[in-house]
Structures are given as C-alpha cells and as structure tokens.
C-alpha cells in the first residue's frame, strides 16, 4: 500500500473508500486530531493528494467485492466534497456489473458545501446513508463540531429528512461520550422528527 495514498481499506467486513481529507468540521472527538497514525482502520489515511475518480474506481475494482458486506464511502474527510466523482464511480461499477451494498458516512452538510441540493444524487446509487447527529441542540453542535458554515445543525437535519426520499435506509449516529439525557434527546430527534434509524457509536480513543 503506497504511503500517503490509501484509497480503499478493509474494516469490519466492509470495504471503505477514502476520497478526501477535506472537512468542513473540526470535531473535538475526531480521530483526525486524536489518533497517532491517522486512523484505527489502516496505517494512515492522510492523503498526499486526492485520488482521481479513475483511481478510486481502479482501487475498488482491484478488490474482490464478493468478500465485503458493504462498500462505504467514508475515509478521513467529508466524502460529500467528492459527490460528483463518487456518483461517477458508482455508475461505472453498475455499468461493469458490480453489485454491492453501498453506503456513505457523512456529516450531512454536502448541500451547504456545494451550494445546491445534492440529495437527488443519492437516488439509485446508495442503499444507505449514515449521518452524524452528534448532539441535540444547535448550540452544543457548534461547540462540539466547530462547523465552517453557520446553521449547520438545522441544515444537517434537513438533509437527513430529505435524503430519506432517495435512499432506502438513513441512519443517524451519536458517540457515547455525551450524557444519557442528551442521547435520549437525540433518539427523539432521529426517530420522531427525522424518521431515521438511531445508533450510538462507541468512542475510540486511538
């Protein structure tokens, strides 16, 4: 594996795709800040440059996809920065007869990043989207995630609600470092307000 250029990597029975190190958040719990080598998943996910869409496709197709449960666009940055290229990659995989459950892990601010509604782009391409809810109020969200764009909390929830129209399964997650009352409030937002599946993730120190 070329140092500083890990595009695909295995973890938990899935194949993960690392497309960018760009992120519009600076979350206090993120491994980008707390990990020694860059990630628990592989030696180093810091990219010396972003791979081209062709390189992403080649890296995926160089794997035996039958080994994996899911193809997950996640990595060490916010993958929606590369939504156009990711959609191109998924379309080419379909053209080549490759079938695999496809997921994106996102902070839900892709429409803010691109200045357009990206939700329709997910239709027919993704089987699942996992969105980081993180906390229960806009004020806590800003303090925890330090988003680049104002109004990110409400924009993230709006994205989660809309993308349900285009993707069979939408999940929202929090990390278990927040208080139980906050977790309970997040569950209500996820299930009652958004209509998504709720998951509490374990915090990984390193």
The residue extents of the domains of the chain are: 8-201
Band of residue 36 on the pLDDT scale cut at 50, 70, 90: very low
Whether the pLDDT of residue 4 is over 70: the answer is no
Share of the chain above pLDDT 70, in %: 89
Homologous superfamily (CATH) for 8-201: Aldolase class I (3.20.20.70)
User: Measured in whole angstroms, how far is the alpha carbon of residue 48 from the centre of its chain?
Assistant: 20
The pLDDT of residue 37: 45
Whether the pLDDT of residue 169 is over 90: the answer is yes
For the stretch 98-127, pLDDT in tens is: 999 999 999 999 999 999 999 999 999 999
Band of residue 193 on the pLDDT scale cut at 50, 70, 90: very high
The pLDDT of residue 43: 55
Q: Which has more confidence, 45 or 7?
A: 7
Q: Which has more confidence, 48 or 14?
A: 14
Looking at residues 9-16, what average pLDDT do you find? 94
The token pair at 182 is: 């906050």
Band of residue 202 on the pLDDT scale cut at 50, 70, 90: confident
Alpha-carbon distances of 119 from 48, 101, 140, 145, 179, rounded to whole Å? 29, 18, 26, 22, 31
Alpha-carbon distances of 132 from 48, 77, 104, 141, 172, rounded to whole Å? 26, 13, 11, 11, 6
Whether the pLDDT of residue 2 is over 80: the answer is no
d(Cα 12, Cα 172) in Å, to the nearest integer?
19
pTM to 2 decimal places: 0.90
The pLDDT of residue 204: 66
């Amino acid at each position: 594996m070329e140092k500083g250029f890990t595009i695909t990597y295995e973890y938990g029975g899935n194949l993960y795709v690392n497309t960018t190190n760009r992120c519009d958040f600076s979350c206090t719990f993120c491994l980008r800040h707390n990990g020694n080598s860059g990630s628990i998943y592989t030696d180093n996910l810091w990219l010396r440059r972003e791979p081209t869409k062709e390189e992403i496709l080649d890296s995926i197709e160089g794997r035996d996809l039958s080994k994996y449960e899911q193809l997950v666009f996640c990595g060490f940055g916010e993958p929606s920065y590369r939504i156009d290229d990711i959609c191109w990659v998924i379309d080419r995989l379909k053209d080549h007869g490759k079938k695999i459950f496809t997921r994106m892990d996102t902070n839900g601010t892709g429409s803010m990043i691109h200045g357009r509604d990206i939700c329709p782009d997910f239709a027919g391409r993704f089987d699942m989207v996992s969105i980081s809810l993180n906390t229960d109020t806009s004020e806590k969200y800003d303090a925890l995630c330090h988003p680049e764009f104002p109004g990110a909390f409400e924009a993230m929830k709006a994205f989660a609600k809309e993308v349900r129209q285009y993707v069979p399964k939408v999940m929202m997650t929090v990390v278990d470092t927040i208080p139980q009352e906050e977790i309970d409030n997040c569950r209500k937002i996820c299930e009652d307000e958004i209509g998504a599946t709720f998951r509490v993730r374990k915090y990984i120190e390193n």
